[in-house]
Amino acid sequence: MFGIGMNTDDIEYKVAEDIFKRQAMGLKKYGVSVKDNPLSLRDWLQHQYEELLDAAIYCRRAIEEIDNAGKGH
């Protein structure tokens, strides 16, 4: 679907597929592509910052789950 010779089990393929699905979801939800979205650069950076904060929270939660798995929790 995304690249010649790409195996659908490859991580890169899966990431490309996730991007494609996310784009379709965004178009359905917002009715506009990222390219055509009129947000200011400041607004784009704010969105990115908030997404990175969420990612840090998810990462920390996963780390704690791994750490606690060995403690019988």
Q: Does a structural domain hold residue 14?
A: no
The pTM score is 0.70
pLDDT at 68: 95
Q: Does a structural domain hold residue 45?
A: yes
Number of domains comprising the chain: 1
pLDDT category at 70 given cuts 50, 70, 90 is confident
Q: Does a structural domain hold residue 70?
A: yes
Q: Where are the alpha helices (DSSP H) in 1-73?
A: 11-30, 41-69
> Is the Cβ–Cβ distance between 34 and 22 less than 8 Å?
no
pLDDT category at 6 given cuts 50, 70, 90 is confident
User: pLDDT tens for residues 16-34?
Assistant: 999 999 999 999 999 999 9
Q: Does a structural domain hold residue 34?
A: no
Q: Which domain holds residue 65?
A: 39-73
Q: Does a structural domain hold residue 4?
A: no
